[in-house]
Amino acid sequence: MSIKTMPVWKWILLFLLSLVLGFILLSIGQASNIPEVAIWLSCIINIAAPAAMLALYALFVKIIERAPAKDLPMRRLAAETGKGFGIGALFFVAVVSLMMVCGVYKFVSVNTRNIDLIIESLFFYLTVAVGEEILFRGIMFRWIDEKWGFTVALVVSSLLFGIMHIFQPGASWWSSIAIALEAGLLLGAAYKYSETLWLPIGIHWGWNFFQGNIFGIEVSGSDAGESLFIPKISGPDILTGGAFGAEASIIAFVLGLLLSIWFIFKVIKRK
């Protein structure tokens, strides 16, 4: 029985079960962030953890839905993930460029002493991206989309994605709304457009890594750690994002919303 033709009671039961799986996978991702271990070991853990999460997701789909996970086509892994990473990276290049034009972001120095820690963060943010995308796009968005349609899936998954970020340091209702509209809509539409998890995983991965470990900006309120560029960020919160980081700035909000609308348009046009 497909998700679309499934009785509502059964859909709700299995949907809740799938969400439990999603939160378990997120916990696996969080557990991979082990402090004070050798960097090489940390990198291995943060490669193994996403692989394990994806394997468990594929197994769950196979058992519960009695079908292979169509959103994990291995032949498209490298191309779609790379494309997504590039989109996420370029997005924050654009955000920081506009922050510089507005005079709120200035380069102080270049950090060449802790490249190993930056590389470690690259793999850590892969784990974060895989865990959150499985939960919010592979499970939440897909199940709602197949049962209730694209619009409902996009709105619900985006709002819940934003609400999840209210628990981050420095968060506010504005930052959660911003995340929902600039990132939640974008990732949901990118998932629907590509019909794979690889594209939103790549966008999420590149977005977080470039924001935090290239440009030295808080990632959803959390300290980015070591970054390639050491910046000085000062000015009104509406331009800098305040304690939450640039994701809560009007610059990231407008650019993210425009990119989201472009992907949504591509999805609608393809229909």
pLDDT of residue 224: 79
Does 169 have pLDDT greater than 80? yes
Instruction: Flag whether 2 is in a domain.
Output: no
Enclosing domain of residue 35 = 8-270
> What does the longest C-alpha to C-alpha distance in the chain come to?
59
Is the C-alpha dihedral spanning 239, 244, 245, 251 positive or negative? negative
pLDDT of residue 33: 64
Instruction: Flag whether 64 is in a domain.
Output: yes
Lowest mean pLDDT, pick from 32-41, 157-166, 188-197, 238-247: 32-41
Residue pair 181/253 in contact by the 8 Å Cβ criterion: yes
pLDDT of residue 27: 73
**CA distance linking residue 48 with residue 220, whole number of Å:** 24
Residue-wise pLDDT for 170-226, tens only, equals 999 999 999 999 999 999 999 999 999 999 999 999 999 999 999 999 999 888 789
Instruction: Flag whether 3 is in a domain.
Output: no
Residue from 24, 9, 30, 87 nearest 57 by CA: 24
Instruction: Flag whether 209 is in a domain.
Output: yes
Instruction: Flag whether 161 is in a domain.
Output: yes
Residue-wise pLDDT for 2-50, tens only, equals 677 777 777 777 777 777 877 777 676 666 666 666 777 888 888 888 8
**pTM, two decimal places:** 0.92
Instruction: Flag whether 251 is in a domain.
Output: yes
Number of domains in the chain: 1
Instruction: Flag whether 164 is in a domain.
Output: yes
Instruction: Flag whether 1 is in a domain.
Output: no
Residue-wise pLDDT for 224-234, tens only, equals 789 999 999 99
